[in-house]
Structures are given as structure tokens and as C-alpha cells.
């Protein structure tokens, strides 16, 4: 039987005691095929669509991998060309897809992305009854999670279905029992549930996590606070050792072991804001696994987010380790 702390949470370490040849980061969720217009404007006028891959959890896996870590993505895809595209793309980026379930009875989900103006991006999902929404606790690979250095989950998966919600908690159960830190990005999606529903289900996940990422709007779903600092402190008060509130162009605020940190954003020209939060989380977790200080983790997150927004696509602009070094050694900004 594992020990518990005074508040009933099983302790999770930093993962440094773990050994083995498994991936350092394990993440679980739904990836989608992405269709988007090649230019700014109403999608109805597009004569062609670009095909790609999207998904918060797989974005983080790719970002973590590009920064030198090893990562695995766990999920379900349909037995179709979109599902094959997702597996091929992630494997091509060095992400372990050996535990992906191919579902012959449900299609791979689809995301339609429209750049309505140079600053406004609209997204529409076709994921009802998708293979990813059929995720269940039986799909969660216990041994893979037990050998990881960090488990990363999001509120998106918890919102997809009862089975997917149960799968997230099953993965957390395994991680906590093994002393593997749990990372959670709230990632609220209005298309999946109401703010009240999200708050009720996300709060228990926050309480069981060691690292939490949220925007100010998302943080207010589960805690109170007049500003980002208060929101970060409010999230941390629920249990996580590290709570990070992302503020876009205003940077990020973190509460780590009771101390507050403020990290400014880097000034860049934004082309596509989608995926910036995933880039931030990937870089933060990559530095965390390396044992970097909180200030270094936040700086890496801000740098990765800056790179991400300057490139079209959800994950295509995620930086390498060399990119992070370049940003720190030049007075120029990302172009």
C-alpha cells in the first residue's frame, strides 16, 4: 500500500528515481486530421485545403521530442487514411506510437481550421463518435506510464466521453502509484462542455496533478482570483506544486512551492496562435525533466510559444534545442 499525504493525495516525486528504456514523457488523448484553408479569408471561398495533424497532447509530445526528450502518445485512431496519417506523422517526428489503438468501428476525428482574418482563427470539430472519443481505461498502458518521467493529460480528453474521462483518471492512478509526476493542461473547449461542467470535472484533476497549466479564463473555472498571480496561487492551493497561468502576449505567471514568478513574453509577429500553449507546456516539461530551475523552465516555455505562433500549423513551428539557444544568444526577434 502506498503512503498518502495529509490531504489524501498520494505523493509523486520528480521521477528521478525511475530507470528503464521507456519514453520520458507519456501523454494520452485524441489527435485529429486537420484541414485548413491555405490563405486568409472565408473557408467557403477556398478552392483547396491543406491536410495535416492536430491535437493538444500529440503537439506536446512532438514539442518535447524536438527538445531532445523521448515521448510516447497514447490514443485511438480510425482504421482510415486520417488515422494512418496521424501515426505516420507522429512516428516521423520521433514520437512512440506503439500503444496507439486502431479502431475499425469508428472514424478518426476531423478539425477544420479557418483563418478568417490575419488575427482571428476559427476552428470547428467533427469528433462526435470518433475513435478518439472511444478511449477507455483498457487502452491505458500501465507499464509505459510507470517507467515515464512525467505523464501529461488535458481537459480535452476528459471532456470527450465518459470512457475518455475514466481513462485520464486511470492514467493518473498509475502515475501517482509509481511516483510519476502528473502534468495537466486545463485546455477548456466550449464545443465539448459548459463552463460549469468543465469546472466540476477539472477541479478533481487539478487536485491530483503536480504541474498545472491554464489560461486566466481556464483558471477561473476552478478557482478565484482578481489577476494572474492570484489565479496561479489559487490553483496551487488546490494541490499542485507548480501552477502556471499563461497570458499570451503578456507572458506567464507561475506559483511554485508558494513562490510567485513572472515571465514576460517575447515580442514576435503572430501568424497562427494555435498551439502556443502546447509549445509552452512541452518546453517547460522538457526543462523540468532535465532538472532546470523554475525560471529556466518558464523562459524555455515563453521562447517555445514565441516560435510556435510565427509558423502556420499546430506543431510545425515547435522549436529544437538549437532554436532555444539561438533565441537566447541573439538580440533579434523571431521573424
List residues with catalytic annotation.
Answer: 278
The CA distance from 152 to 57, in Å, is: 7
Closest C-alpha among 29, 2, 27, 22 to residue 143? 22
CB 51 within 8 A of CB 85: yes
The CA distance from 261 to 221, in Å, is: 22
| Dihedral sign computed on CA atoms, order 21, 208, 281, 14 | negative
The CA distance from 177 to 174, in Å, is: 5
| Dihedral sign computed on CA atoms, order 306, 309, 310, 311 | positive
Secondary structure (3-state) at 53:
strand
Closest C-alpha among 156, 178, 181, 180 to residue 167? 156
Alpha helices in 93-161 (DSSP H): 142-146, 155-160
Amino acid at each position: 500500500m502506498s503512503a498518502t499525504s495529509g490531504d489524501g493525495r498520494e505523493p509523486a516525486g520528480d521521477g528521478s528515481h525511475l530507470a528503464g528504456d521507456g519514453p520520458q514523457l507519456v501523454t494520452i488523448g485524441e489527435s485529429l486530421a486537420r484541414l485548413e484553408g491555405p490563405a486568409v479569408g472565408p473557408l467557403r471561398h477556398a478552392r483547396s485545403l491543406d491536410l495535416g495533424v492536430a491535437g493538444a497532447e500529440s503537439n506536446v509530445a512532438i514539442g518535447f521530442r524536438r527538445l531532445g526528450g523521448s515521448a510516447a502518445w497514447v490514443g485511438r485512431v480510425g482504421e482510415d487514411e486520417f488515422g494512418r496519417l496521424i501515426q505516420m506523422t507522429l512516428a516521423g517526428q520521433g514520437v512512440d506510437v506503439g500503444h496507439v489503438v486502431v479502431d475499425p468501428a469508428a472514424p478518426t476525428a476531423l478539425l477544420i481550421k479557418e483563418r478568417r482574418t490575419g488575427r482571428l482563427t476559427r476552428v470547428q470539430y467533427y469528433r462526435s463518435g470518433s475513435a478518439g472519443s472511444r478511449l477507455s481505461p483498457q487502452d491505458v498502458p500501465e507499464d509505459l506510464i510507470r517507467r515515464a518521467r512525467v505523464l501529461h493529460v488535458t481537459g480535452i480528453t476528459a471532456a470527450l466521453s465518459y470512457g475518455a474521462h475514466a481513462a485520464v483518471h486511470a492514467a493518473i492512478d498509475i502515475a501517482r502509484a509509481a511516483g510519476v509526476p502528473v502534468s495537466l493542461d486545463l485546455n477548456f473547449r466550449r464545443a465539448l462542455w459548459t463552463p460549469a461542467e468543465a469546472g466540476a470535472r477539472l477541479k478533481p484533476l487539478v487536485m491530483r496533478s503536480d504541474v498545472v497549466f491554464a489560461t486566466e479564463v481556464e483558471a477561473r473555472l476552478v478557482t478565484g482570483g482578481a489577476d494572474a498571480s492570484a489565479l496561479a496561487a489559487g490553483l496551487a492551493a488546490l494541490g499542485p506544486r507548480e501552477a502556471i497561468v499563461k497570458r499570451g502576449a503578456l507572458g506567464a505567471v507561475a506559483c511554485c512551492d508558494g513562490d510567485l514568478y513572472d515571465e514576460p513574453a517575447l515580442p514576435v509577429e503572430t501568424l497562427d496562435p494555435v498551439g502556443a500553449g502546447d509549445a509552452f507546456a512541452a518546453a517547460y516539461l522538457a526543462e523540468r525533466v532535465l532538472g532546470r530551475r523554475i525560471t529556466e523552465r518558464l523562459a524555455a516555455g515563453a521562447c517555445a510559444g514565441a516560435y510556435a505562433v510565427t509558423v502556420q500549423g499546430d506543431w510545425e513551428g515547435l522549436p529544437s534545442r538549437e532554436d532555444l539557444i539561438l533565441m537566447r544568444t541573439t538580440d533579434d526577434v523571431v521573424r
